[in-house]
Structures are given as C-alpha cells and as structure tokens.
Amino acid sequence: MTTRCTDEHGSNRPAGGHSGRRPGESGTRDAILVAAREAFAADGFDKATLRAIAASAGVDPALVRHFYTDKETLFDRAMTLPWDSDEIVSAIIEGDPERVGERIVLRFLLSWETGTSRDVFRAMIRSAVTHDRAAEMIRDLITRRLVGPVTRALRVPYPDLRATLVGSQLVGLAMVRYVTRVEPLASLDREAAARVVGPNVQRYLTGDLETRT
C-alpha cells in the first residue's frame, strides 16, 4: 500500500543526509511522515513500529532509518503542526471579547477533526501518557503556543494559571470526545460543543478565580 504525499514537510532535510537528492525522495519522505502520523495517532508511540510505518508507506524499513534515524526522531518530525501560532492566536483574540472561550474551543475542535493536525493531536495525546516528549509537546501547546499567548494578550492577572486551567478543559474534552468517546459528548455537533464548553473556558480566561478564598 502506498500513501500519497499530501502535506508540507517536503522541505525538511535529514540531519547528516547526503547532498544529492534522488527524484521522488521528498515524496518518499512525506509518505513516511504521513504513515508515521497515522500509526502514532492510532496506536501511540510505544505500540507503533518502524516496520509497520515502512510497510504502510510502501518502503523498506532501512529507508525509514536512513531518513529519520530512529522512532524518537521520526516522532518529533511527524508531530510538526502545520500551524502559524501567531495567526491562530490573533484570530482567537479578535472579535467579541465575551466569546474568546468559545472561539478557542471551536478552533481546537476543528484542529482535532480536520487536516494534518487531526493525526498530530491524536498521536500527541495517545503518546503523552507514557512518552515524555509527547507530554512536553502538550505542555508547550498549553503554555507557549496556543493558550499561553491568548491569556497573556488578554492582560488578565494569573495568565499562567489561567492557561493551564484552559488547557485542562481542552485536553479533557479531547480525551472524552475523541479517545474514550463518551456519549453524548462524543457525537455532539462541533459548534454545539463549542457553545456549551465555551463559557467555562471564558471563566478561566477572564473570570474571577478567587470568589471563595
């Protein structure tokens, strides 16, 4: 089975790779990344194997090792989000300030349900419980790349605590909706889910966190 090249990773070069590029090399490398994302998303880091990824990409396992050295390196490369973090954060912050929470949830659900980020997010969460690098990627998304920039832009007190609280709701929403699939939340329409969860995220973003201390 071959997997088609459909994404943006063609320009990455292997560390220490040879300088002559064979025709089709970038297509092969992309096919491996796509197969890797699918495998990590379905099975998590521990269960996924280079052999199965190679088979799914239609290449020899030795070629996977040639391009990506080992499973850790392949995981790191495959987990690159096709995201402009600044652009996403701007889109979340602009508009009705009372609905920043809803916009962040909707954007998060969209990323879980469409495109390359779909497999990246699934792989990240399935791997985070046992693989430190994946846990680090989640921490990074919460504190630095997605939620942290939003709370800092809002100029509210306790931006770091607020970011982790929002992160807790987003990660839990993903676990319940996409990983353990608990109904009726798993099948709820994306916009309805964002409307129902949004006000809770909004309280974490801008609400009074010390009402009963």
Residues lying near its own copies in the complex (CB under 8 A): 43-44, 46-47, 102, 125-130, 135, 138-139, 142-143, 160-161, 164-165, 167-177, 179-186, 188, 192, 195-197, 199-200, 203-204, 209-213
Whole-angstrom CA distances from 103 to 117, 150, 193 are 17, 11, 11
Q: State the nearest-atom distance from the C-beta of 193 to its own copies, in Å.
A: 9
CA 3/CA 41 separation, integer angstroms:
15
Residue closer to its own copies by CB (options 59, 147) is: 147
CA 38/CA 123 separation, integer angstroms:
8
Residue closer to its own copies by CB (options 91, 185) is: 185
3-state secondary structure of 198: helix
Residue closer to its own copies by CB (options 59, 100) is: 100
- The stretches of 16-99 forming alpha helices (DSSP H) are 25-47, 50-57, 61-68, 71-78, 85-93
Q: State the nearest-atom distance from the C-beta of 51 to its own copies, in Å.
A: 17
Q: State the nearest-atom distance from the C-beta of 198 to its own copies, in Å.
A: 8
Q: State the nearest-atom distance from the C-beta of 23 to its own copies, in Å.
A: 38
Within 10 angstroms of residue 184's Cβ, the number of other Cβ atoms is 6
